[in-house]
Structure 1
Amino acid sequence: MINQAISSHAMKVVHIAPHFNNCGNGVVNVAVDLACMQSRIGIDVVFVGAGGSFRELLTREGVTVHSIEVSSKRHLLSTYRNLRRVVGEFDPDIVHAHMIPGALFAYVLKRGARFKLITSVHNSGRFGTPLMSVGDISICASNYLAAEMRARGIPSRKIRVVLNGPLGSPRESSSSRDVTLKRPAVITIAELVTFKGLGDLIAAFSIVAAKSRDAHLYIVGAGPERSKFERQALASSCADRITFCGSIADPASHLRSADIFVLASHREGFGLVLAEARQAGCAIIATRTGGIPEVLDRGSAGILVPAHSPAHLAEALTHLIEDADLRQTWRANASRNLEWLACLRAAKETLSVYNEACGVSA
């Protein structure tokens, strides 16, 4: 059994996440996946977050759920009291925090408690990221993030790398309906904010669309800057071929229907959606930044282009749109070597970190 290293009792774990809402948030998706997989392999799991639609899934997987608004600055005292109650009653071996507020609350609660604090570093370039080092061990979602943490002065002895693994996730739905996209279909799935490179992608597609009259761009996601990108698309000469789809709880059907997936991020800790695009068999173009090259097997599973460069992005898009054989080659490349992206692999490796923190030899 995977948790056979725990000899005296079943391991007890508390996950603290921003929320448990199915809105495409990568941090939440990773936390929910880990909680569900750990419950499946015999760990006693509690999940704490502001609430959301994943409650049914978590409960069905045997995870105990507590709705606590951990990120609210207005209710710090009540949040602390609620967390202290949950942790005190559950008496966990591990508290696993997936965000800075949760990590800081857990650090305060750790005084006089027996649990070990594990933090997860999911994102790159965030000012507060070094605060995640308050844990006994910080798990980084990519080697890039681990190097970034070390560069900020966090000692290597406190850093471990567990690459994300979304494939085979309990979140996957077998009932998603097929959709029909106008082809060749280019798709991106991202939060609608500047650092995700949406402006670069729209600019690049405008260049491509002038030559490729049948190409269509589908932008899946929500975010605070949606109106800005909509204005940019409307001002282009191909506004009628750019569709803003909004947030989609299960975008797998859109990925399966697409020809090309693009992630134009300016920074990226890992890029879960790239793994999902690989599984769907899309030809992939992404920026050479952060942990993206790791997800794309250093460029063998997808075309890497410089960030902040619509011209390079347009060139790669043009080649794939105009050359069906080349597109098929990159679709095949994306579909190879997917085993390491498995959810169960990530859960096993995370458990190894827990055992190490608890001083248990696996």
Structure 2
Amino acid sequence: MSDPVSTKPTIRMMRLTTRLRINGPVLQAVLLSAKMRDYGYETQLIGGNPPSEETDVMERAASYGVEPVVMPGLTQTLNPLTLVSLVRELADMMRTYQPHIVHTHTTTAGFLGRLAARIAGVPVIVHTLHVYPFEGYYNRVTTSIFILLERFGARLSDSIITLSEGLRRQLTESYPITRKQRIIVLPLGLDLTPYTQMKRHRGHFREAYGIPDNVPLIGIIGQLLPVKNHALFLQAAQIVKVTVPDAHFVIIGDGEQRPMLERRAQALGLEGHITFTSWIEDVAAAYSDMDLLVNSSHNEGTPLPLIEALAAGCPVVATHVGGIPDLLDGGRLGALVSPNDPQALAEAIVHTLQTDYDPQPAREAMVNRYAVERLAQDLDSLYRGLLAKKGVTFPVETKEPLSSH
């Protein structure tokens, strides 16, 4: 691809992620592909085929003026022949596009993209680890392979980004991937305006799913996968229902465990008290109508639903895992409970429902930490610094002063 006609030099970037699905890494990649234009960057976003049930990720990208390039083979595969073919294909794409920077997200895309970038002679290579991928996601053999891939990829990287200080500690102490000095902490950057400007309890979500206006509504959002531990949410719901008999529970998302979870809900006597919605387009409406959002995962990086819910004024309860304690300031911004303890989770849910909640401290914290403008500025400084070390410099883009939220 040739340079666009412009009076200023453009920094070309190739951004890679694995599958184009509705999750934190992909949404972050889409938003940054759009936002970094303001700082003089042109981005080619590459990802694997979206799952059939999540086609709206392409619509979300289009709404930001981003057109991802789909590589059908770019999935979480460990097939050596497939990996070699993908590296060759990516290296060819990089030689054609000639990016100044390759920035990868997720382990598989991170390994393939960084190796291809080194082969293609890309000046700067950056990788973001959004989650701690070595607990709760894969079996022991697969986990060991991914640890080796991350260690190898770290040697190819000019910089590695994590989303929280806790995640950096884990990556340098529990399963050392690289030295602490080579990892920079940059929290997520999100467009939180739809949530901060939203009114509470509008009723649109409850009306759509036939949930009464006057009952406590407790929700959970995410892929229905083992690591998300929805079974714990259901166990806690059964206990909560004893104390709060009119409580209603909603599970937003889809995935391989849905049939099992539906059977479990019925076995726990939750029929009539729980709604499975699958994926929904207007998640803001759900935050508006929820009285509480729960995260019950075995492991997490920096989960988007918690940030969005707090920005929307909805209180949260979450398990003390991964990057969640950092996100919630050790419990100041939301209740933290031990993982795999349904009684503790249920008690935290009931206590939160019965306590007057002031949403302003958490809302302000989310905007200050996770607004996309802050991340774009931080990344611009990082990218230009790394390019300068390689002898590649560009004039700095000037921007109008930001309006306050």
TM-score range with shorter-chain normalisation?
Answer: 0.7 to 0.9
2:204 to 167, 171, 178: 178
Q: Which of 128, 131, 146 is residue 120 of structure 1 equivalent to?
A: 128
Tell me how far apart the structure 1 counterparts of residues 304 and 161 of structure 2 sit (CA, whole Å). 16
Runs of at least 5 residues in structure 2 that lack an aligned partner in the other structure = 1-7, 51-55, 135-142, 397-405
Match of 1:67 among 65, 70, 74: 70
Q: Where do residues 1-362 of structure 1 align in structure 2 (5 Å cutoff)?
A: 9-21=9-21, 24-52=22-50, 53-58=56-61, 61-63=64-66, 65-69=68-72, 70-71=74-75, 73=79, 75-76=82-83, 78-109=85-116, 110-111=118-119, 113-126=121-134, 127=143, 128-129=146-147, 130-131=150-151, 132-133=153-154, 134-151=156-173, 152-153=175-176, 154-168=178-192, 178-180=204-206, 181-182=211-212, 183-321=215-353, 323=354, 326=355, 328-338=356-366, 339-359=368-388
Contact 2:107 2:129 in 1 (8 A): no
Deviations along 1:26-74, one digit per CA (max 9) or x if unpaired, are: 2211111211211243311100112454445545645453211322547
1:82 aligned counterpart, secondary structure: helix
Q: Residue by residue, what CA displacement relative to the aligned partner does 1:149-188 show, whole Å, maximum 9, x if unpaired?
A: 11133112321111112233899999x9931243210011
- Name the amino acid aligned to 1:79: L
Superposition TM-score, scaled by structure 2 size: 0.78
Deviations 1:225-273 (A, max 9, x none): 1222212110112322011111223311111111111111121111111
TM-superposed CA distance for 1:138, in Å, is: 0.9
Stretch deviating more after TM superposition (207-216 or 159-168): 159-168
State the Cα deviation string for residues 274-300 of structure 1 (Å, max 9, x = none). Answer: 100111211111112211122223322
Return 5+ residue gaps in structure 1 as ranges.
Answer: 1-7
- Equivalent position amino acid for 1:18 in 2: T
Q: Any idea what SS the aligned residue of 1:18 has?
A: strand
Worse-matched range after superposition: 87-96 or 149-158: 149-158
Cross-structure match for 2:403? none
Corresponding position of 2:401: none
Relative to structure 1, the CA distance from residue 86 to residue 240 in structure 2 (aligned partners, 3 Å threshold; closer, same or farther) is same
Name the % identity.
Answer: 26
Q: CA 1:112 to 1:282, structure 2 compared with 1: closer, same or farther past 3 Å?
A: closer
SS of residue paired to 2:219: strand
- Counterpart of 2:140 in structure 1 is none
How far the C-alpha of 1:350 sits from its partner, in A, is 2.1
Whether the aligned pair in 2 keeps the contact of 1:284 and 1:330 (CA below 8 Å) is no
Q: Distance in 1 between matches of 2:197 and 2:359?
A: 22
Supply the distance in 2 between the matched residues of 1:17 and 1:170 (Cα, whole angstroms).
25
CA distance in 1, matches of 2:192, 2:359: 20
Whether the aligned pair in 1 keeps the contact of 2:125 and 2:158 (CA below 8 Å) is yes
Contact kept in structure 2, 1:45 and 1:64, CA below 8 Å: no
Do the aligned partners of 1:187 and 1:217 also contact (CA within 8 Å) in 2? yes
